[in-house]
Structure 1
Amino acid sequence: MKGTGYRDSARIVSRLREQAFANSIHVTIHAHQEMVAENVSYDAVREVLFDAEVIENYPDHQRGPCCLLCGLASSRHPLHIVCTTSLDVVIIITVYEPKPPKWITPFQRGDRNEM
């Protein structure tokens, strides 16, 4: 599977949007636990998939191509979603609200030495 990921962010977003529209989404146990802890609904995750921005892309990840998305759900809170990018079903790996000190803004990482 290594090396089969998309490198073009626009193509990734388009594919994820299609998968969200078709409801071709699988939430991992870890992602579900994070969603419960962060009080994030499945609908909020789906909303973000419709209008997300790729902020980090990992096309050659050892476990398969994936990316980090940032988007706003209807709650207007930013959400980060790590998901697959090359499967027929989008697999949601984790979901969280970006917060300091790990994130300065939803799109900018904090100092890794302070984490």
Structure 2
Amino acid sequence: MIRNISTDDLFSAIRAGEIIESYLDDKPCPSVLMLGFIRDHAYHGVLGICDDHLRVITAYMPDDEHWIDTRTRRENK
């Protein structure tokens, strides 16, 4: 369990989540930013979409400093 997110909860959030950003030029695999919910709390997960596997890069709760809402990133100042 990392950041108090269990593997089962993370898998459920990914399965029911939605892609909100795509990073097609990422290496070694293209990746996506997903929005999912765990017990009514929003979580973001960055996933590498490789040819033969899915790689979880990170998962975190979006914060007000970086996000206007769960889907909209604040512009860098």
Deviation at 1:49, TM superposition (A): 1.4
Name 2:17's counterpart in structure 1.
52
Deviation at 1:87, TM superposition (A): 2.9
1:43 to 4, 8, 18: 8
3-state SS, counterpart of residue 99 of structure 1? coil
> Which protein is richer in helix relative to its size?
1
Are 2:18 and 1:61 equivalent residues in the alignment?
no
CA distance in 1, matches of 2:7, 2:28: 24
Residues 48 and 71 in structure 1, CA contact (< 8 A), matched pair in contact too: yes
Which amino acid is the alignment partner of residue 39 of structure 1? N
Larger RCO (alpha carbons 8 Å, 6+ apart): 1
> Which protein is richer in strand relative to its size?
2
Name 1:108's counterpart in structure 2.
72
CA distance in 2, matches of 1:81, 1:87: 19
**TM-score normalised by the chain length of structure 1:** 0.61
Q: Percent identity?
A: 30
3-state SS, counterpart of residue 56 of structure 1? strand
CA RMSD across the alignment: 1.4
Q: How many equivalent pairs are there? A: 77
**TM-score normalised by the chain length of structure 2:** 0.87
Deviation at 1:72, TM superposition (A): 0.9
Structure 2: give runs of 5+ residues left out of the alignment. Answer: none
Runs of 4+ in 1 over 2 A off after TM superposition: none
